[in-house]
C-alpha cells in the first residue's frame, strides 16, 4: 500500500498550477492574437486563483461537515509463546506508521519486562503486570495515541480487564498449536519449560485461556506474516478510518 507524501502532493499542486496557467495563456492568445495580453491574463489568473484557493481552504477548515475524528485504539495481540505475535504486531505497526494522521506507539512484552525485571510469572504477578500496561495505554490514549501491543496475556480475566480499562480495545488472537510453536522456538525455551527449568510457562506448566470471541483470529499455520498484518490493517481501516 502506497501513501502519498506531502512532498509529492506539493509537487503535483505546483505542476497543476503551471499547466493551468499555461492553458489560460494559450487560450487568450488564440482568441486575441496578443502575446502580451495572454501573458498578463495568465499571470493575473494565477495570482487570483492562489488567493481564492487559500480563502476557500481556510473556510473549509472551519466547517465540520465531512470531518471524522479517529479515536485512539489498542490492537492487543495475544497467543502462545512463539505463535508469531511480535512479528505480526511489528509488521502492523510499520504499516500503520505510514498513516501520518494516526499517532501510534508499539509496546511489546519483552520491552516492558526489561523495564520491570523483578515481576514474576505466576498468575497474580502477570495480572498486576498487565494492569500496569493498561494504565500506560490509558495515558497514551488520553494523548490521542493508538497502541499496538503484543503480550501472551494468557488469562481471560486479564484481557477482559484491559478491555474495560482502555478505549476501542481490539483483541487479536494469534493462533498456533504447541507443536508449531515448539518448532519455531530457536532459543529452546519450550524445552527448558518441559525440563522444569522455567516455571509458570504458558502452554506447558501454566494455562492459556483461548479467546472465546476475539475481534480477529490469525491462524499463523495457514497465513503468512504479510497476509496476517494486512488483515489487521484492513480491520483498522474498516472500523476506525472509513
Active site residues: 153
How far apart (Å, rounded) are the C-alpha atoms in residues 75 and 214?
A: 11
Angle at 184 between CA 182 and CA 186, to 5 degrees: 95
How many H-runs (helices) and E-runs (strands) does the chain carry? 9, 5
Nearest 10 degrees: Cα torsion 109, 110, 112, 118: 110
Among 97, 72, 141, 129, CA closest to 3:
97
Angle at 128 between CA 124 and CA 134, to 5 degrees: 145
Among 39, 41, 43, CA closest to 17:
43
User: What are the Cα distances from residue 90, in Å, to 85, 96, 97, 225, 227?
Assistant: 8, 10, 11, 10, 13
Q: Across the chain, where does the E strand assignment appear?
A: 74-78, 104-108, 146-150, 169-175, 216-219
77 and 172 Cβ atoms separated by less than 8 Å? yes
How far apart (Å, rounded) are the C-alpha atoms in residues 123 and 70?
A: 35
Amino acid at each position: 500500500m502506497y501513501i502519498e507524501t506531502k512532498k509529492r502532493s506539493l509537487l503535483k499542486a505546483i505542476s497543476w498550477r503551471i499547466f493551468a496557467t499555461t492553458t489560460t495563456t494559450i487560450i487568450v492568445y488564440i482568441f486575441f492574437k496578443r502575446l502580451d495580453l495572454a501573458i498578463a491574463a495568465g499571470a493575473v489568473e494565477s495570482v487570483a486563483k492562489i488567493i481564492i484557493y487559500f480563502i476557500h481552504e481556510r473556510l473549509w477548515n472551519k466547517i465540520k461537515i465531512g470531518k471524522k475524528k479517529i479515536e485512539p485504539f489498542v490492537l492487543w495481540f495475544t497467543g502462545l509463546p512463539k505463535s508469531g505475535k511480535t512479528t505480526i504486531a511489528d509488521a502492523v505497526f510499520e504499516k500503520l506508521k505510514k498513516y501520518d494522521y494516526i499517532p501510534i506507539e508499539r509496546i511489546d512484552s519483552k520491552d516492558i519486562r526489561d523495564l520491570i525485571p523483578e515481576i514474576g510469572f505466576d498468575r497474580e504477578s502477570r495480572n498486576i503486570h498487565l494492569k500496569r500496561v493498561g494504565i500506560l495505554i490509558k495515558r497514551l490514549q488520553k494523548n490521542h495515541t493508538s497502541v499496538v501491543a503484543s503480550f501472551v496475556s494468557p488469562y481471560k480475566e486479564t484481557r477482559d480487564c484491559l478491555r474495560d480499562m482502555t478505549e476501542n480495545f481490539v483483541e487479536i488472537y494469534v493462533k498456533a498449536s504447541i507443536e508449531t510453536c515448539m518448532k519455531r522456538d530457536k532459543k529452546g525455551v519450550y524445552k527448558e519449560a518441559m525440563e522444569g527449568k522455567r516455571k509458570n510457562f504458558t502452554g506447558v506448566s501454566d494455562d492459556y485461556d483461548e479467546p472465546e470471541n476475539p475481534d480477529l483470529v490469525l491462524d499463523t499455520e495457514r497465513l503468512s506474516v504479510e497476509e496476517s498484518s494486512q488483515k489487521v490493517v484492513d480491520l483498522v481501516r474498516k472500523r476506525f478510518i472509513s
